[in-house]
Structure 1
């Protein structure tokens, strides 16, 4: 029986401790809630003042503090804006330099290509002049079309060997040169 009573007292004491801890926790939560609610109201009131609302309740000193706070905020905002603009300007200047360098490279390539085209055109023109002058020279200096052969003539007037073929017109130029003359 004593053991039962002891257990009862232990459990009832533990239960009282839990109940008291819960009530303290609830009290802490209520107190914490009130603090947070007051902070939220203060922040909302300050926000309204910064937006220019509900200024009638402020006295002269509070208005001066609000004005100083706004000026300080504007200085920070302008400073940040200037910093961002300077970063943007420097980035654009880097891009400009890069594009100018790329433009110089492209201009050099274009000049080289134009130079090569002019040289090619001059070479082609020179080749045309050379081939036309050489073809007219070849036509003037060409021997008459005869078929001279060193093969002996057989008895009876017949020619033996390659000369036995019908006579061909020869002007004394190899065939690969003739293709340039005719074109």
Structure 2
């Protein structure tokens, strides 16, 4: 016959809480010792009771275990900082590439509209002229094929004094 499961919540009765703490503390320290012996692991357990009393177990020197823990934390923190720096560099590169991808078409559009042409060479101006020419021809062909339907406007005269515009 097995034991019934105990709901894990704060024990309100102070005496029961203290008894449970003592029993569970003993069990936890016993498990830590077994883990250290069976697995040849460095184990350190630090427990503070609700009254502030310190209980500890160390399979070797607690200072060595804590120093090793702190070194590990520092190196993992350094690795996280390095990863963040690499991610930031990647994001900066991506942002710059996207800026270029946006600026190039905008510059081409401005030049197609006849702006910012001062710094262009003769060959670049000729190329721009040909692009504008072919683009205008393409637009007129599409327009004639009906891809861009014409909107016909009509003026209707009412009572001789005012005009109504309709599409």
The question of a shared fold, defined as TM-score above 0.5 by the shorter chain, is answered with: no
TM bracket, shorter-chain basis:
0.3 to 0.5
> Greater RCO between the two (CA within 8 Å, min separation 6)?
1
Larger fraction in strand: 2
| TM-score relative to the length of structure 1 | 0.41
What's the TM-score, normalizing by structure 2?
0.44
Compare the two structures and name the one with the higher helix fraction: 1
